[in-house]
């Protein structure tokens, strides 16, 4: 394993006290996934305190443990700091300061993680690439991603999320991107932000973190061009728009979509994607524009993207009902934009029945009923049968034509057996909802086995 941090580097970065001479090869904030050689950071949250697991971390082979409460543990491997969250941030800043490669920051209302994963795939075909795992895009996920960055990294992809105004700017300042990618601007977190314009302002803070040599890669159809252009003007960077319009800096043409994947043309390159969904064409366009802006090989990136597949909960297609039916697993999260995209993907798939299983979109506040009901035209067009759970989806279920209604239940666990018992050979089932709607409670039994009707 390569050395991430030495004792001297840990002391210098955090201004902490560490008696032992250690070598850190990884970083963990959870003893359940800790590996020998890791630095364990005892973060203190609202519902948990990592300081309760210091002894367990050392017993599992942690080379060092960062604490701000030593308690009754006396060990030379303790790195004592004033605050472990600030210590993690300090490591993130130090990691970014020593990084000499190219940094890409990704944000957006929809598609952040998928675009980040596509970027990782494309860049890794060109050089050593590091990226956030899962959706590590918040106040601890971003510095953790940076602190874990191997010393030989040529390209880093940092995902940056938000729930409230003012959250992106400090994370973007830590990341210091060379390229800023905004995937979409939509109504996600509308309840906290108040307007789509406010969401665009927040997203544009990533562009504001660019230098004059930086490039902002954005869609050509956000409807928020003036806000994004103003942010680019303030940082002095170049802005490049990607999309289908003739005015796009990078125009996507010759689009073909199907159940097995998509094809399109980017500049003078024919691009093939092996996963269905026109939204993935948009994501891939942003990735290829990033590759081009960095002056890297589009041929290598295109070859890598042809092999890319979406992960569990993010558009993965899997057989169910003993291979007689299929699951389109979009269960990780949801917004109005992403549900529309998922329904369009469902429509591409050959099926006797196309079934949509939807849970609530969270964080919409006073706009919740309106935003949920906005999905009705898409459901009427693309789904034969609809199952719903959670309070806001009740409005949708009640407004559906009677022949489209499956069952509504108050939560995903209660709905799961109804979905399972209604499965038939030839069905394709889309499952989607916000993380808090716990749609995995429906996906798990579907993957375990269904009942043929």
Residue positions forming the annotated binding site: 108-114
Residues found in the chain: 453
Residue 20 CA, chain-centre distance (Å), reads: 37
Cα separation, 26 vs 3, whole angstroms: 8
Q: Point out the annotated binding site for ATP.
A: 108-114
**How do beta strands 5-6 and 325-330 pair?**
unpaired
CB-based contact 301:283 (threshold 8 Å):
no
């Amino acid at each position: 394993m390569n050395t991430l941090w030495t004792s001297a580097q840990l002391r210098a970065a955090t201004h902490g006290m560490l008696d032992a001479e250690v070598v850190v090869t990884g970083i963990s904030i959870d003893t359940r996934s800790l590996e020998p050689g890791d630095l364990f950071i005892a973060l203190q949250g609202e519902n948990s305190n990592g300081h309760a697991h210091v002894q367990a971390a050392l017993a599992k082979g942690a080379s060092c443990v960062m604490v701000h409460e030593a308690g009754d543990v006396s060990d030379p491997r303790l790195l004592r700091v004033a605050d472990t969250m600030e210590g993690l941030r300090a490591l993130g800043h130090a990691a970014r300061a020593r990084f000499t490669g190219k940094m890409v920051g990704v944000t957006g209302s929809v598609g952040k993680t998928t675009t980040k994963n596509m970027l990782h795939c494309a860049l890794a075909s060109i050089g050593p690439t590091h990226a956030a795992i899962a959706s590590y895009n918040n106040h601890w996920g971003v510095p953790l991603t940076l602190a874990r960055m191997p010393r030989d990294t040529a390209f880093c992809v940092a995902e940056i999320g938000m729930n409230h105004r003012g959250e992106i700017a400090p994370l973007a300042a830590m990341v210091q991107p060379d390229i800023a990618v905004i995937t979409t601007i939509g109504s996600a977190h509308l309840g906290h932000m108040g307007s789509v314009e406010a969401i665009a302002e927040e997203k544009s803070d990533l562009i504001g973190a660019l230098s004059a040599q930086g490039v902002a890669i954005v869609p050509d159809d956000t409807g928020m061009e003036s806000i994004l252009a103003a942010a680019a003007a303030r940082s002095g960077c170049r802005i490049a728009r990607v999309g289908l319009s003739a005015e796009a800096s990078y125009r996507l043409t010759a689009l073909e979509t199907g159940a097995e994947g998509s094809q399109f043309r980017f500049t003078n390159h024919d691009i093939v994607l092996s996963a269905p969904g026109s939204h993935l064409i948009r994501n891939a366009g942003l990735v290829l524009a990033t590759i081009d802006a960095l002056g890297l090989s589009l041929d290598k990136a295109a070859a890598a993207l042809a092999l890319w597949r979406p992960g569990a909960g993010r558009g993965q297609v899997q057989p169910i009902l003993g291979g007689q039916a299929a699951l389109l697993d979009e269960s990780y999260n949801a917004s109005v934009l992403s549900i529309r995209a998922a329904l369009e993907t469902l429509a591409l798939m050959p099926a006797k029945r196309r079934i949509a299983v939807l849970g609530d979109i969270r964080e919409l506040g006073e706009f919740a009923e309106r935003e949920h009901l906005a999905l009705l035209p898409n459901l009427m067009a693309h789904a034969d049968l609809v199952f719903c759970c959670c309070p806001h989806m009740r409005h949708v279920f009640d407004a559906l034509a009677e022949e489209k209604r499956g069952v509504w239940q108050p939560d995903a666990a209660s709905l799961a057996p109804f979905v399972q018992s209604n499965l038939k050979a030839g069905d394709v089932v889309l499952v989607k909802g916000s993380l808090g709607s716990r749609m995995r409670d429906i996906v798990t039994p579907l993957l375990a086995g269904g009942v043929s009707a």
